[in-house]
Amino acid sequence: MENNIKSYLPQISEYFVKDFGKEYGEVIRQRINDSAFLFVSTSLANKRKLSTAIDNQLLRLTNQFCKEAGNALGISSPYKILTPEELSELKYYDVLIKSSSELNDETYIDFVKFLGKLVQKDKISQKNCENYIKNDKNKEIIKNCIKTICQIYDKNYVDKMRDLTRLKRQLLSNEEPSKTTGAEDRTIDEIDALDIDENEKDILKIKIAEYVLNDETAGFSFYTKSTSGKDMRVCILPPLEELNDSILFHEISHTVNAHNYSAKSGFTLIIDDDNKENQDLDEIITDYFALKAQNLAQKEGFKVCNNENELSLYSCAFMLFRNFLEGYAKDIKSCRMSGDPSLLDKTFGKENIKSLSQLATQFLDLIDTERQGEIVNALEEKYGFDIDKIDFSQKPKSYYEKQYLKFAKTMQETLNNIKEFQKDADSENSL
């Protein structure tokens, strides 16, 4: 299966083309065909290579910090690149700087020695340090320098480095024996063979380490660029014995999205690596079109995996979003296929996209419990899949009904606002 997934892609592509329309045929086929598919077991055996990827990323972050700190202090290169262990001293210094207590001379000497490492003057003598801090002005200079680089470290680096260190510790302490026979080693080799730079390979391996430790059963998509600058999509999937068509079609649906590496993927707006907007909304939309393509496949008896399909958390939101998904399918497809981040606002209105995104997150948070199936079934049975047919005069009998009615009312208002927004836009364009 792992070696033959490419043989299924042409037919799967046609199901997406049939739903999206022939005008998108060429680009859909190309995006799916150019995607890489990696199958990863949650009992990953080759932890050493994943751990090495974490070490590499820690060193890159340390390198970036030293350059940023050097620039902030006006230090001209070359300057020393500290180790992650040396950099961790800043967490202690930051506490001292923020405390109201008076700093003693020993602390100032530690500050001077730390700055000395940064400017490649490791052998600053104790005597020279003591002489330097006799001057109160020098103490203030040193304190401000440490304060500056602590602020940089705290803002841009400490959380990332702490998370990576924790991930490495968890990875190496996870002693569960491997249940597979070398597929994990092939996965790492396949990543190393990808035409992307080494930093991106390490980031992908780190994401796989998180995937493994979280014991994920679904998949995820990784977007990057090739060394030649071409957009690349990598689908991470469970091994064959755990994979089903629902997961497969969902991840392939992600590859259909246009991906602007630094700005947009489908309906997700990328602010930076740690800040993305509309992700839950994008997942609901992605799952909706994945299931449409999958339903076309099932009607023809086409099946890739033998495991039984399962409805995802995102598909539970169709009852709330169906009017939007069906009423604006053409516009949604256009936005998914475009890499222009401004198209969402131009098509639906900025505040309306914000409202849809908030509704997506709020609804998923509401039902994401151990009672998910029971809650969703009860809501579907009472309110159906068309919010325009809901009798809002009915008094809710549970917390979940009360919340859903509030969401449905907001959805109605948002759809009306979209209608008016597009009507106004059409009027302006006709002038």
Task: Report d(CA 252, CA 19) in Å as an integer.
Answer: 14
Q: What is the pLDDT of residues 387-415, one digit of tens each?
A: 999 999 989 999 999 999 999 999 999 99
**Same domain membership, residue 313 and residue 412:** yes
**Same domain membership, residue 54 and residue 32:** no
**Same domain membership, residue 361 and residue 286:** yes
**Same domain membership, residue 401 and residue 346:** yes
**Same domain membership, residue 216 and residue 146:** no
CB-based contacts of 147: which residues, under 8 Å, 6+ apart? 97
**Same domain membership, residue 386 and residue 306:** yes
**Same domain membership, residue 426 and residue 281:** yes
Element (H, E) at 268: strand 268-272
Residue 61 inside a domain? The answer is yes
Q: What is the pLDDT of residues 370-387, one digit of tens each?
A: 888 899 999 999 999 999
Beta carbons of 263 and 25 less than 8 angstroms apart: no
pLDDT at 100 (0 to 100): 63
Domain of 385 in residue numbering reads as 5-39+210-221+251-430
Task: Report d(CA 146, CA 94) in Å as an integer.
Answer: 8
**Same domain membership, residue 101 and residue 23:** no
Task: Report d(CA 45, CA 171) in Å as an integer.
Answer: 10
Average pLDDT, integer, range 314-325 = 95
Q: What is the pLDDT of residues 151-168, one digit of tens each?
A: 998 888 888 888 898 888
Task: Report d(CA 50, CA 121) in Å as an integer.
Answer: 34
Task: Report d(CA 73, CA 146) in Å as an integer.
Answer: 10
Counting the structural domains of the chain, the total is 2
**Same domain membership, residue 292 and residue 160:** no
Residue 132 inside a domain? The answer is yes
**Same domain membership, residue 29 and residue 92:** no
Average pLDDT, integer, range 126-153 = 84
Residue 174 inside a domain? The answer is no
> Alpha-carbon dihedral of residues 334, 339, 340, 346, nearest 10 degrees?
30
CB-based contacts of 102: which residues, under 8 Å, 6+ apart? none
**Same domain membership, residue 261 and residue 112:** no
Q: Is the pLDDT of residue 251 over 70?
A: yes
Dihedral sign for Cα atoms in the order 135, 137, 143, 145? negative
